[in-house]
Chains A and B, each alone.
Chain A
C-alpha cells in the first residue's frame, strides 16, 4: 500500500510526489478604504501542517507560496461572469489557524497595514472592462467571485476553488 505522498515510478521504485495543496474555501471581504476588497482562503489541516501554522496577529508571509487569483465580475441575475481580471499574489498567514490572506505586499506586516495591500498594484483596479466602474472611484456596489489556485515550491498546485458562485458584494 502506498503511503500519503508516495507513488510508484516506472521501474517500480517508490518516489515522493509533492504534497498537493488543498484550499477548502475562498471568501471576499470588504475593506473600509477605497481599494475595497480583500481575498481570504481557508486551507485544510493537512495543508496547514505542510506549510506551517499561524497565530492571531501573525501576518507573516509564506515565502514559498503564491496564489493565482481570478476576480470575476458577476451578473447577479444569473451568476454568469461578465469580466475577469487575473493576478499572482503573495500569501500571508491569517488570524485563525486555517486562513490565509492574499496580498501584493512583500514583507511581513501588521493586519492593518496588510489589508491596505490586497492586489491593487497587481489587479488594475481602474480597468472598467473588469470592474464595471473604476473601483477606486466607483459609486455603486458590484458583485464578484474569486477563483484561487494556491501554488508553492515543492508542492503540487491546489485545485481552483471559488468563492460564492452567486457573487459577493463589494461596495465602493
Chain B
C-alpha cells in the first residue's frame, strides 16, 4: 500500500493569491512522492489559488484552489489503480452542485467518481464499455437505502472518501467518516488509470468549489475508522 498522490493544497502558504495553476505554476505532489504534477494547457480551464485568510469558512492559515465548474487539472503521469483496493480522498469548500461534478477521471471509457447534480448522490462509472455494468451509476445519499446516514453535501467544508475494495465493492464516506453510500457491481474492480482531477478531461463535468486536499492511496482500502481519521484531518481546516 502506498500514497501515490497528495495535493496538500490547504497547507500552501507561499503561492500568491489568485495565481492561475496549471501552466507556469503547477500543482505539485507532496514532497517525497513521485512527480505527478497537476497541469492544464488550456488557459480557460486553470483553477486559481486562494491564499490563506481569504475564505471565512476556513481557518486563517488554510489555502484552497478555486475551480469554477469548467476548470480541471490533467495529471502529468497517470496513476494506475485497480486490480487491488484503493482509496481516494477529495476535500473542498463552497461547493455548488448545480451540475454533475467528476472529481477523479480515468483516461479510458470516461471512467469516473463524482458528485451527482444536487449534491445528494455520488457517481461511479467503471473503466469498461460493457453495459449495463459499465454504465454510470448514480447512488442516492439522501436516504439510508445504501448507507448508514442520510446525507447531502453542503457549502461548508466537505470531504468524499472513496474506498474501492478491489472486489466489486465500493464504499463512500463523508467528512464525519459516515458511510453515505455503498454498492457492489461487477466491473467495479476494473483498472482505473487516473488522469484528470476535477473535470472530465475536456473542461466539463467540473466541480464548482474550492479544493482543499486530494489524496490517492493504492493497494489500500480505508476502514470506517480510518475514514473517520481522514475526515478529522479535513474538519481541522474549518474556521
**B32–A166 touching, CB < 8 Å:** no
Q: A31-B11, A32-B11, A143-B226 are in contact. Are A172 and B3 (CB under 8 A)?
A: yes
**A32–B229 touching, CB < 8 Å:** no
Q: Is the interface of A mostly helix, strand, loop or mixed?
A: loop
Q: Which residues of chain B are within 8 angstroms of A168 by Cβ–Cβ distance?
A: 229, 232-233, 236
**B232–A166 touching, CB < 8 Å:** yes
Q: Mark A134-160, 1 if CB is under 8 A from B, else 0.
A: 001101110100000000000000000
Q: Which residues of chain A are within 8 angstroms of B237 by Cβ–Cβ distance?
A: 29
Q: Which among B215, B223, B230, B236 has the greatest number of chain A C-beta atoms within 10 A?
A: B236
Q: Which residue of A lies closest to B236 (CB)?
A: A27
Instruction: Give the number of residues in A that approach B within 8 Å (Cβ atoms).
Output: 36
- Interface: B117 (CB within 8 A): no
- Interface: B60 (CB within 8 A): yes
**B236–A28 touching, CB < 8 Å:** yes
In whole angstroms, what is the CA distance A139 to B33 when docked?
9
In whole angstroms, what is the CA distance A95 to B229 when docked?
24
Q: A77-B225, A168-B229 are in contact. Are A32 and B3 (CB under 8 A)?
A: no
**B8–A139 touching, CB < 8 Å:** no
Q: Which residue of A lies closest to B29 (CB)?
A: A32
- Interface: A76 (CB within 8 A): yes
In whole angstroms, what is the CA distance A77 to B225 when docked?
5
In whole angstroms, what is the CA distance A141 to B232 when docked?
13
- Residue of B31, B59, B233, B236 touching A32 (CB-CB under 8 A): B31
Q: Which residues of chain A are within 8 angstroms of B14 by Cβ–Cβ distance?
A: 112
Given contacts A29-B237, A34-B31, 4 further A-B contacts (CB under 8 A): A27-B236, A30-B233, A95-B60, A111-B52
